[in-house]
């Protein structure tokens, strides 16, 4: 909806402005009072030609104004604007009838048709004005528009019949003229009409408070002046200055509307939106939606140029669009600038989002570089256009059928085959190139430079993480490595007490076996067993703390928190038992795993010195797990009572009773876990 932006004023100045406006509207009533209170000032001036041309000229101009409003109402399909147009057509139309019946012009003598013509027009207009100011919803507005032809026909027929009867002196307009235009029973009707104008003015003023508009303010002023004209009609004698006074009020009322329409036209640059401030809220929302759609179409056109690398579209390219939305050249220029700004903002947002996504995809872990590049292109092409990436290989960088030297360097981007080329630099050397479309925008080169910088960092990180996978992650648990990479402070010496489930496993008979075979056979056996055991721990979320010869220690619930750590530890132990038993079946002379699991508090953290440290756990819970493992038979899983209680139902177990554990005061209640998924076996 077209709105007027008024100059900003301090709040203290607003009451003053309202007072000045009110005094302007009160001045005509003060002048009327002066003329009526001082009869010697209210002189008679009878001049037919002056009345005829003044009134007819004003009437015809405002009939055109009413027709203009009607066309706008039909185009917008808005009931409020249509009712306002009828208010102006009825008042201006009967004002023209009043001019035609001026005595001494087209008729010899004045009759009652001359007296009542314009008061009747003002009364009819007051009804339309009041109706237009009501809270009309879309349904009531639609009903008003459906009655458009009927109301137009009735109004035209009434004005034509009044004119013909007045000119010919036929009943009921054959009666002689009165001392005043309104007398007798017409007085209360005219007073009620003035009240309707006042109510309409107040309601439109409230609309103006919500949406400041020159047209709305002039409409308020016009209705107040028409109410004052109605009062003047009731009180003034014909052809006296007080009677001429209401003619001046009509000129002022219609003049305010005409001037505000002109101001709005100058501001809009077209006639389409001059009266949009008057329309219903539903119509205003529809107009705003149309203009939003206009912006979106502009953005789409600009975006298409951006994606293809062609020149941005200009005014001539929007001819069909301008015709659709009835935009002037000035409006096209404004919307085009707004669309360009919006398109630039959206492009920047898309590019920032693409950069963030590229950084996110540079995740910790082994990644194939070619797969990473393909993944990155899926992200950046919708935001940057037709970009390509080539990586260095055998001293050359190939992008489709174009070949670049690996020594491209860090110099500013070059242009090749109409495309901007940027090097991807890793550790001071050219690791690849980024090709992008060459555009006219000033920031296109800069945006490609930013993208090349981010891709260089990401590519370097991908290679670094891959190196870490070889040099770092294979020497410790993936959970510990990921935790240290995410938060290096976790590498500091120290720790804290956590409840953990510790899993100890070693090979029963390892010492005897190692005495009887070659060292190579020992290494082959250990690697075979550990290759089967490690996945069992990792697949259940465990952290392998250390390998000590034939033994391993794994923790659950540290460093990553796990609410079901006891279940995970037992599942890992059973899987490890089954895997090692399959290996032992193939190699009967090899030793076999025995496993102990215990749950309880332990001190977990980094233990060692500033020069060398390791992630470990200490405490009674860990020691008991080691002792349970030492007491277990080959191919068995023994758990502490706390672990079994944490498992709950669904685990088959056999109680081993209270066991005396070496190096610990008191006994330990132990259980052998047979399997998971069945009822718990009672001793």
Query: CA-to-CA distance for 280 and 260, rounded, in angstroms?
Result: 19
Note whether 186 and 251 are same-domain residues: yes
Q: Is the backbone of residue 395 left (phi > 0), alpha (psi -120 to 50) or beta?
A: left
For the chain, the maximum distance between any two Cα atoms, rounded to a whole number of angstroms, is 145
The whole domain housing 418 covers 372-471
Residue 7 placed within a domain: no
Of 279, 303, 327, the residue at which a domain comes to its end is 279
Kind and range of the H or E element at 579? helix 565-586
Of 444, 471, 498, the residue at which a domain comes to its end is 471
Note whether 214 and 332 are same-domain residues: no
Residue 110 placed within a domain: yes
pLDDT of residue 31: 62
pLDDT of residue 309: 46
Query: CA-to-CA distance for 600 and 668, rounded, in angstroms?
Result: 13
Count of alpha carbons within 13 Å of 204, Cβ hemisphere only? 29
Residue 356 placed within a domain: no
Residue 15 placed within a domain: no
Note whether 551 and 641 are same-domain residues: yes
List phi, psi (to 5°) of 154. Answer: -60, -40
Cβ pair 177, 101 in contact under 8 A: no
Query: CA-to-CA distance for 645 and 116, rounded, in angstroms?
Result: 104
Helix and strand counts by DSSP (H, E) for the chain: 20, 14
Note whether 215 and 325 are same-domain residues: no
Residue 88 placed within a domain: yes
Q: Mutual orientation of helices 281-308 and 138-146 as an angle, nearest 10°?
A: 100
H-helix segments, 269-401 = 281-308, 319-325, 329-361, 369-384
pLDDT of residue 643: 93
> Hey, what's the torsion of the CAs at 541, 545, 548, 550, to 10 degrees?
0
| DSSP code of residue 176 | B
Query: CA-to-CA distance for 37 and 31, rounded, in angstroms?
Result: 10
pLDDT of residue 502: 95
Note whether 310 and 191 are same-domain residues: no
Cβ pair 148, 200 in contact under 8 A: no
Nearest to 253 by CA among 278, 229, 277: 229
Of 350, 382, 402, the residue at which a domain comes to its end is 350
Note whether 265 and 151 are same-domain residues: yes
Nearest to 122 by CA among 192, 178, 46: 192
Contacts of 129 (CB under 8 A, 6+ apart): 83, 84, 87, 196, 197, 200, 223, 226
- Whether residue 279 is preceded by a cis peptide bond, meaning omega within 30 degrees of 0, is no
Residue 651 placed within a domain: yes
Q: Is 416 exposed, middle or buried (0-12, 13-18, 19+ CB in 10 A)?
A: middle
Note whether 456 and 509 are same-domain residues: no
Residue 22 placed within a domain: no
H-helix segments, 472-564 = 478-486, 510-516, 519-539
Query: What stretches in the chain show pLDDT beneath 70?
Result: 1-37, 42, 242-243, 245-246, 254, 256-284, 287-288, 291, 294-295, 297-336, 338-340, 342-343, 363-367, 406-418, 438-445, 467-493, 610-611, 663, 677-683
Q: How many C-beta neighbours within 10 Å does residue 320 have?
A: 9
Nearest to 221 by CA among 247, 235, 202, 242: 202
List phi, psi (to 5°) of 611. Answer: -85, -35
CATH of the domain at 573: 3.30.70.1230
Query: CA-to-CA distance for 160 and 220, rounded, in angstroms?
Result: 29
Query: CA-to-CA distance for 101 and 112, rounded, in angstroms?
Result: 10
Note whether 601 and 650 are same-domain residues: yes
Tell me if residue 534 falls in helix, strand or coil: helix
Query: CA-to-CA distance for 556 and 670, rounded, in angstroms?
Result: 19
Q: Is 60 exposed, middle or buried (0-12, 13-18, 19+ CB in 10 A)?
A: middle
Cβ pair 107, 166 in contact under 8 A: yes
Note whether 346 and 465 are same-domain residues: no
Note whether 467 and 557 are same-domain residues: no
Tell me if residue 395 falls in helix, strand or coil: coil
Count of alpha carbons within 13 Å of 115, Cβ hemisphere only? 21
Residue 17 placed within a domain: no
pLDDT of residue 614: 73
- Whether residue 243 is preceded by a cis peptide bond, meaning omega within 30 degrees of 0, is no
**643-650 LR contacts (CB < 8 Å, sep 24+):** 643/501, 643/566, 643/569, 643/570, 643/597, 643/598, 643/599, 644/671, 644/673, 646/501, 646/566, 646/567, 646/599, 647/566, 647/567, 647/570, 649/679, 649/680, 650/676, 650/677, 650/678, 650/679, 650/680
Q: What is the DSSP string of 180-216?
A: BSS-TTHHHHHHHHHHHHHHHHHHHHHHHHHS--HHH
Cβ pair 110, 155 in contact under 8 A: no
Tell me if residue 417 falls in helix, strand or coil: coil
Query: CA-to-CA distance for 102 and 113, rounded, in angstroms?
Result: 10
Cβ pair 597, 628 in contact under 8 A: yes
CATH of the domain at 391: 3.30.450.40
pLDDT of residue 411: 47
Query: CA-to-CA distance for 499 and 290, rounded, in angstroms?
Result: 64
pLDDT of residue 567: 93
Q: How many C-beta neighbours within 10 Å does residue 465 have?
A: 18
Note whether 189 and 67 are same-domain residues: yes
Note whether 51 and 181 are same-domain residues: yes
Query: CA-to-CA distance for 208 and 217, rounded, in angstroms?
Result: 6
Domain count, the chain: 4
Query: CA-to-CA distance for 650 and 418, rounded, in angstroms?
Result: 70
pLDDT of residue 565: 92
Q: What is the DSSP string of 17-82?
A: HHHHHHHHHHHHHHHHHHHHH-TTTS-B---HHHHHHHHHHHHHHHHHHHHHHHHHHHHHT-HHHH
Q: What is the pTM of this model?
A: 0.45
């Amino acid at each position: 909806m077209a709105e007027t932006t008024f100059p900003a004023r301090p709040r203290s100045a607003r009451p003053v402005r309202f007072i000045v406006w009110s005094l302007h509207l009160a001045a005509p009533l003060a002048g009327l009072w002066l003329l009526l209170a001082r009869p010697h000032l209210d002189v008679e001036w009878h001049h037919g030609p002056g009345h005829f041309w003044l009134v007819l000229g004003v009437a015809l101009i405002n009939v055109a104004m009413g027709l203009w409003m009607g066309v706008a109402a039909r185009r917008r399909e808005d009931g409020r604007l249509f009712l306002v147009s009828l208010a102006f057509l009825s008042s201006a139309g009967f004002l023209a009838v009043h001019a035609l019946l001026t005595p001494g012009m087209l008729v010899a003598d004045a009759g009652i048709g001359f007296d009542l013509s314009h008061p009747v027009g003002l009364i009819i207009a007051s009804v339309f004005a009041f109706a237009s100011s009501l809270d009309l919803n879309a349904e009531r507005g639609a009903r008003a528009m459906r009655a458009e032809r009927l109301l137009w026909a009735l109004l035209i027929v009434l004005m034509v019949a009044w004119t013909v009867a007045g000119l010919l002196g036929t009943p009921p307009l054959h009666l002689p003229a009165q001392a005043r235009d309104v007398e007798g029973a017409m007085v209360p009707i005219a007073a009620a009409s003035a009240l309707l104008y006042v109510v309409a003015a107040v309601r439109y003023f409230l609309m103006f408070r919500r949406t400041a508009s020159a047209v709305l303010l002039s409409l308020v002023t016009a209705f107040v002046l028409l109410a004052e004209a109605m009062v003047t009609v009731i009180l003034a004698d014909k052809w006296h200055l007080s009677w001429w006074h209401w003619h001046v009020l009509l000129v002022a009322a219609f003049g305010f509307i005409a001037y505000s329409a002109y101001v709005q036209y100058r501001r809009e640059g077209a006639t389409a939106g001059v009266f949009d401030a008057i329309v219903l809220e539903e119509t205003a929302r529809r107009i705003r939606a149309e203009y939003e759609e206009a912006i979106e179409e502009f953005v789409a056109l600009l975006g298409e140029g951006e994606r293809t690398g062609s020149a941005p579209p200009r005014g001539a390219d929007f001819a069909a669009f301008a015709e659709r939305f009835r935009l002037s050249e000035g409006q096209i220029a404004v919307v085009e600038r707004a669309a360009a700004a919006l398109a630039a903002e959206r492009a920047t947002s898309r590019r920032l989002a693409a950069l963030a996504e590229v950084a996110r995809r540079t995740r910790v872990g082994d990644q194939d570089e070619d797969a990473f590049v393909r993944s990155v292109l899926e992200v950046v092409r919708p935001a940057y256009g037709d970009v390509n990436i080539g990586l260095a290989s055998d001293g050359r960088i190939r992008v489709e059928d174009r070949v670049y030297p690996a020594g491209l360097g860090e110099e500013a981007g070059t242009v090749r085959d109409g495309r901007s080329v940027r090097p991807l630099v890793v550790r001071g050397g050219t690791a690849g190139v980024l090709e992008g479309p060459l555009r006219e925008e000033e920031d296109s080169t800069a945006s490609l430079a930013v993208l090349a910088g981010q891709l260089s960092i990401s590519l370097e990180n991908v290679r670094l993480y891959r190196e870490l996978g070889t040099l770092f992650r294979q020497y410790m648990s993936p959970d510990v490595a990921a935790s240290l990479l995410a938060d290096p402070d976790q590498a500091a010496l120290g720790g804290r007490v956590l409840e953990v489930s510790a899993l100890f496993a070693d090979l029963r008979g390892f010492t005897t076996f190692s005495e009887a075979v070659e060292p190579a056979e020992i290494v082959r056996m250990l690697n075979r067993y550990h290759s089967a055991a490690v996945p069992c721990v990792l697949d259940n979320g465990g952290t392998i703390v250390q390998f000590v010869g034939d033994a391993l220690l794994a923790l659950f619930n540290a460093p990553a928190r796990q609410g079901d750590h006891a279940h995970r530890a037992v599942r890992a132990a059973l899987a490890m038992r089954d895997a090692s038993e399959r290996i032992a079946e193939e190699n009967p002379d090899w030793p076999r795993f025995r496993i102990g699991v215990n749950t309880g508090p332990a001190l977990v953290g980094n233990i060692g010195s500033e020069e060398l440290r390791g992630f470990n756990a200490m405490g009674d819970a860990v020691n008991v797990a080691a002792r349970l493992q030492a007491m277990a038979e080959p191919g068995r899983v023994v758990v502490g009572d706390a672990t079994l209680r944490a498992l709950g139902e669904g685990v088959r177990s056999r109680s081993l009773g209270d066991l005396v554990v070496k190096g610990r005061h008191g006994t330990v209640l132990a259980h052998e876990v047979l399997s998971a998924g069945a009822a718990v076996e009672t001793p």
